[in-house]
Structure 1
């Protein structure tokens, strides 16, 4: 277990979670903002993406009341990316997440997740900043991140290829 906070728990993703990842990443509502509706996952693709050994990312399942409902990953931001965004030698972590069970949207669980992961990274990993880069059109996510104390720092023009179009994103940071 990475951490628990009340009814929320985050644990490392395991092979047994591939069916869930495939389910979530073939749902158009989830894909609208994460990966793209033109990029649905099957189990083989989920295995390649999520079980690939990558020491830089910790890939996790989010559980709420002991039910897997989403995904979050965290990683230490490398020097090249820090320089690109104008950061110095600070200890910076990045996070990416989604709630895959859409019945759990709009209940404050995403806010609890982002606040909890941010606190974990600050206190357990010594992060000085936590960053993320949501698409500017993902207003629901941006509101959630702002409630968690993240601030918009820079608009990243044509930052992410999504459904065949380069999307603008916000570089957001905490604190």
Structure 2
């Protein structure tokens, strides 16, 4: 991602389905103009593409190292991810599944993750079912930034 992606990301964040998936925060979720120029060693911000056309967002975070300690006291080797398809026209076409496979591969193989965690909003049954299909298991419910989320995890051993 680059600073040139801010307008696209804000538009995606304001999509009702995306806003709902991130706890109703919409474009208030992230200050993209600030975050896209920060270079931190514990995070990757990526645009998901289909045929060189941007279709979604992927964030990979070393959950143990990230500065806000969003995940609390979590073991080293744990990476978190955020992922969504931005445009309604691109949803339901299998692109999210392709992106999730690539994201997990990147976390486990390139970043050496032992565990990947994710935190869908509790009421987002579609996302939870999607993550379950990828081997994520429920850990519990936790409130993140005043939003009740289902904490889910998948270990590297699920693919080895």
TM over 0.5: yes
SS at match of 2:55: strand
> Can you list the C-alpha shifts for 1:88-125, whole angstroms capped at 9, x where unaligned?
4x411111111111111122221221122111211111
The counterpart of 1:78, out of the listed 50, 64, 76, is 64
Greater Rg over alpha carbons, structure: 1
Size of the aligned set, in residue pairs, is: 150
Find the counterpart in structure 2 of residue 172 from structure 1. 152
Give the TM-score normalised by the residue count of structure 2.
0.81
CA distance in 1, matches of 2:38, 2:125: 31
Find the counterpart in structure 2 of residue 56 from structure 1. 42
Find the counterpart in structure 1 of residue 9 from structure 2. 21
Find the counterpart in structure 1 of residue 27 from structure 2. 40
| Residue pair 1:111, 1:145 contacting (<8 A) in 2 also | no
Q: What is the root-mean-square deviation of aligned Cα atoms in Å?
A: 2.2
Give the TM-score normalised by the residue count of structure 1.
0.75
CA distance in 1, matches of 2:2, 2:12: 15
CA distance in 2, matches of 1:24, 1:137: 20
Structure 1 spans left out of the alignment, 5+ residues: 1-12
Find the counterpart in structure 2 of residue 160 from structure 1. 144
Map 1:58-137 to 2 at 5 A: 58-78=44-64, 84=73, 87-88=74-75, 90-137=76-123
Shift of 1:134: 0.9
| Residue pair 2:58, 2:81 contacting (<8 A) in 1 also | yes
Distance 1:25 1:51, change over 3 A: farther
4+ residue runs over 6 A deviation: none
